[in-house]
Amino acid sequence: MVASGCHMLAILCRLVGACIALAVSMPAAVALAEEPALAQQTLRIRDVIDYARAHRKEIVAAKERARAAWRAAGAVGLPPDPMLMTNLDHLPLPIGAGEEFMWGADVSFMWQQQVPLSGELSARTRRAEAQARALDRSVDAVRLDVEHQAVLAFIMIAEEQAMQKVVADQIVLAESISKVAQARVSGGSGTPSDIVRAALDKTRLEADQFARVARISAADAMLDAALGREPDHSVPRCLLGVPSDAPAASAELARAALLERPEIAAMRERIAAAGEDVQVMRNMRAPMGVFGLGGAYTMADGPGLMATVGISIPIFKGKYDSGIASAEAMVSMERADLQAMKTMLAGEVTSARWSVEAARIRQQSLEGDVLPQAKLAFDLTLSSYAGGQVPLVSLLESLSVLRSVQMEEVASRVDLAFAWAKLGRGVGDVGLGLERASREEEDE
């Protein structure tokens, strides 16, 4: 019996231990499940957009601001707090009353409520709700800003990594030049200065590569900040692809911006709120009702009931008319701001669209025409130097031109990516064009 009890106790202890282990590991498992996959070594545009959207505290603050506005909207439509008044109506004093003085007092109490005799309260509620909806739209605007910042930081670190690859390729070419120079010296057709000069170019490139490591770390710190995390994570490989096709027509992009931009929707809600403010001011010209009900006690008649009904008399019309005129002016101002925003938005999108087109033409020219010619020129010059037909300075000059063209081609791709990001922010889709291009780059 004792052995059986010990066996059951051991089983119970193991079950309790398993439950504790499960409880301890559950938060970590949930955190891993909720964490976007940024531990991978290759990042795409969509990865950083999703991560920034989930972790940037600016979005949380904007949501809380909107939630506070909605909570406040539930209170503005309530009438004023009632008043409970107690009165000592008459307290006789025993001054010269003699023996016939009657002790007692006349007392009363009343519950009193003020109620607007118009639609002022409902208009205040509609105004507050419109303001809360405007803040809801502002949350989307903050989200777009956060995503845009993350994309810009992503492009910056992708630029530094691409430049580092260019330098690494240049080091390989410089090593090949050193080998050719040594072969020429060994064959008696070169001078030792060629070996020193070729080694010098390689040393300069290696120093540049070391500096690129620090620049990548700096760009990675900015990417971490744009993602809403501490700047102590490992440096990922940022896969940046740029679209090769032209963007849509300017008119189509402008129409999309007017439909998608949350700032436009927020401005419309603010116009609605200003319109309800006009109604509030107009309803304030109506009288305010006062209703009361209570009880009383007199020494002569005993207990009884009391009731009162009254209204305010809005005789000072001027202050109400001024309030109405001010509210109507605010409506006109908000509408003018909306029209101005639409005009500026259309111009911004059109300008961004042509910036993309200009960057695309330049990038395609560098990638398709200039860069192949620079590579061919270097290969021919290297062959000529190996054959003793040109001096080393010509080969180093050809290598420098190739390096310049390669870096210019990287800069053109980055400029094109920045232009697409600006256009995407303008139309309300930060990943416009870049997401598909990144997927195609990964597939290749």
pLDDT, tens digit (0-9, with 9 covering 90-100), for 72-93: 998 888 888 899 999 988 888 7
Q: Tell me which of 98 and 65 has the higher pLDDT.
A: 65
Characterise 415 by phi-psi region: left (phi > 0), alpha (psi -120 to 50), beta (else).
alpha
pLDDT value of residue 77: 86
The angle at the Cα of 225, spanning 224 to 230, to the nearest 5 degrees, equals: 65
- Strands 302-311 and 288-298, by their bridges, are antiparallel
| Percent with pLDDT over 70 in the chain | 87
pLDDT value of residue 231: 82
pLDDT value of residue 237: 85
Stretch 148-175: mean pLDDT = 93
pLDDT value of residue 31: 39
| Percent with pLDDT over 90 in the chain | 55
φ, ψ (nearest 5 deg) of residue 330: -65, -35
pLDDT value of residue 101: 63
pLDDT value of residue 413: 94
Please give the model's pTM, rounded to 2 decimal places.
Answer: 0.80
pLDDT, tens digit (0-9, with 9 covering 90-100), for 127-143: 999 999 999 999 999 99
Q: Quick one: pLDDT band at residue 374, thresholds 50, 70, 90?
A: very high
pLDDT value of residue 181: 87
Stretch 414-425: mean pLDDT = 94
Stretch 98-114: mean pLDDT = 81
Q: Quick check: 22 pLDDT over 70?
A: no
Q: Quick one: pLDDT band at residue 111, thresholds 50, 70, 90?
A: very high
| Range with lowest mean pLDDT among 12-26, 264-278, 288-302 | 12-26
pLDDT value of residue 210: 92
162 Cα distance to chain centroid: 27
pLDDT value of residue 314: 84
* Nearest alpha carbon to residue 120 among 86, 78, 159, 70: 78
| Range with lowest mean pLDDT among 90-99, 271-280, 389-398 | 90-99
pLDDT value of residue 24: 42
pLDDT value of residue 99: 61
pLDDT, tens digit (0-9, with 9 covering 90-100), for 175-187: 998 888 888 888 8
Q: Quick check: 27 pLDDT over 50?
A: no
Stretch 407-415: mean pLDDT = 95
Q: Quick check: 2 pLDDT over 90?
A: no
pLDDT value of residue 38: 56
Q: Quick one: pLDDT band at residue 442, thresholds 50, 70, 90?
A: low
pLDDT value of residue 88: 87
pLDDT value of residue 32: 37
pLDDT, tens digit (0-9, with 9 covering 90-100), for 190-202: 788 888 988 898 8
Select the highest-mean-pLDDT range: 22-26, 115-119, 378-382, 435-439.
378-382
Domains and CATH numbers, the chain: 37-90+105-443 (1.20.1600.10)
